[in-house]
Amino acid sequence: MLGDVEIDGTYIDSVGIQFKGNSSFNAPGIKKPWKIDFNEFVSGTKYDGVKTINLNNVVGDPSFMREKLFDDFCRTVGIEAPRATYTNVYVNNTLWGFYVLVEQVNKTFLTTEYGNDAGNLFKGDGNGTLQWYGTSPSSYYGKYELKTNETLNDWTDLVHLIDEINNTPSLNFYDSLEAVLNTSAWIEAWAANNIFVNLDSYIGTGHNYYIYHNAVTDKFDFIIWDANEAFGKFSQGMSVAQLESLSMAYIPNPPGPPGRPLTDKMIQNTTYYNTYVNTICNYVANYFSNAYLNPKIDSLYTIIKPYVYADPNKSFTNQNFEDNINMNVMGNIPGIKSFITNRRTSLISQLTSFGCNMGINESTVYGLQFMVNPNPTSGVFQIQVGNEQLAVGNEYKIEIYNVMGEKVYEKLLSEKENIVFLPLGTGQGIYFYRIIAENIPVASGKLVVE
Q: What is the 3-state secondary structure (H, E, C) of the chain?
A: CEEEEEECCEEEEEEEEEECCCHHHHCCCCCCCEEEECCCCCCCCCECCECEEEEECCCCCCCCCHHHHHHHHHHHHCCCCCCEEEEEEEECCEEEEEEEEEECCCHHHHHHHHCCCCCCEEEECCCCCCCCCCCCHHHHCCCEEECCCCCCCCCHHHHHHHHHHHHCCHHHHHHHHHCCECHHHHHHHHHHHHHCCCCCCCCCCCCCEEEEECCCCCCEEEEECCCCCCCCCCCCCCCHHHHHCCCCCCCCCCCCCCCCHHHHHHHHCHHHHHHHHHHHHHHHHHCCCHHHHHHHHHHHHHHHHHHHHHCCCCCCCHHHHHHHCCCCECCCECCHHHHHHHHHHHHHHHHHCCCCCCCCCCCCHHHCCEEEECCCECCEEEEEECCCCCCCCCEEEEEEEECCCCEEEEEEEECCCCEEEEECCCCCEEEEEEEEECCEEEEEEEEEEC
Q: What percentage of the chain has pLDDT greater than the value 90? A: 72
Please say which residue of 103, 125, 152 terminates a domain. 103
In a domain, 338, yes or no: no
- Mean pLDDT within 339-365: 74
pLDDT for 99 beyond 90:
yes
| 127 and 275 both lie in a single domain | yes
How many CA atoms, within 13 angstroms, populate the side-chain half-sphere of residue 126? Answer: 3
Question: 259-282 burial string, b = 16+ CB within 10 Å, else e?
Answer: bbbbbbbbbebeebbbbbbbbbbb
Q: Can you tell me the distance from the alpha carbon of 3 to that of 19, in angstroms, rounded to the nearest whole number? A: 13
In a domain, 404, yes or no: yes
pLDDT for 298 beyond 50:
yes
- Per residue in 125-148, pLDDT (tens digit) is 878 999 999 999 999 999 999 999
| 171 and 259 both lie in a single domain | yes
Hey, what amino acid is at 196? Answer: F
In a domain, 239, yes or no: yes
- Mean pLDDT within 298-305: 97
Q: Do residues 48 and 12 make contact, with C-beta atoms less than 8 angstroms apart?
A: no
- Mean pLDDT within 32-45: 96
Hey, what amino acid is at 113? Answer: E
| 130 and 278 both lie in a single domain | yes
* 449 vs 56: which has the higher pLDDT: 56
pLDDT for 435 beyond 50:
yes
pLDDT for 387 beyond 60:
no
State the total domains in the chain. 3
* 257 vs 163: which has the higher pLDDT: 163
Please say which residue of 286, 321, 345 terminates a domain. 286
| 74 and 210 both lie in a single domain | no
pLDDT for 369 beyond 90:
no
| 280 and 136 both lie in a single domain | yes
Angle at 241 between CA 276 and CA 85, to 5 degrees: 65
Give the pLDDT confidence score for residue 398 in this predicted structure.
Answer: 79
Q: Can you tell me the distance from the alpha carbon of 226 to that of 80, in angstroms, rounded to the nearest whole number? A: 13
The whole-chain average pLDDT of the chain stands at 88
- Per residue in 268-277, pLDDT (tens digit) is 999 999 999 9
Instruction: Identify the domain containing residue 94 by its residue range.
Output: 2-103
| 272 and 188 both lie in a single domain | yes
Give the pLDDT confidence score for residue 363 in this predicted structure.
Answer: 35
Does the CA dihedral 84-86-87-88 come out positive or negative?
positive
Q: Can you tell me the distance from the alpha carbon of 98 to that of 308, in angstroms, rounded to the nearest whole number? A: 6
| 16 and 158 both lie in a single domain | no
- Mean pLDDT within 278-282: 92
Please say which residue of 103, 138, 168 terminates a domain. 103
Q: Of the candidates 29, 102, 23, 95, which has an alpha carbon nearest to the alpha carbon of residue 66?
A: 102
Residue 196, SS3?
Answer: coil
What's the pTM value of the predicted model, to 2 decimals? 0.80
pLDDT for 256 beyond 60:
no
Please report which confidence band the pLDDT of residue 364 belongs to, taking 50, 70 and 90 as the band edges.
Answer: very low
In a domain, 77, yes or no: yes
| 211 and 134 both lie in a single domain | yes
How many CA atoms, within 13 angstroms, populate the side-chain half-sphere of residue 176? Answer: 18
Give the pLDDT confidence score for residue 384 in this predicted structure.
Answer: 60
Q: Can you tell me the distance from the alpha carbon of 51 to that of 105, in angstroms, rounded to the nearest whole number? A: 10
How many CA atoms, within 13 angstroms, populate the side-chain half-sphere of residue 245? Answer: 5
In a domain, 129, yes or no: yes
| 76 and 117 both lie in a single domain | no
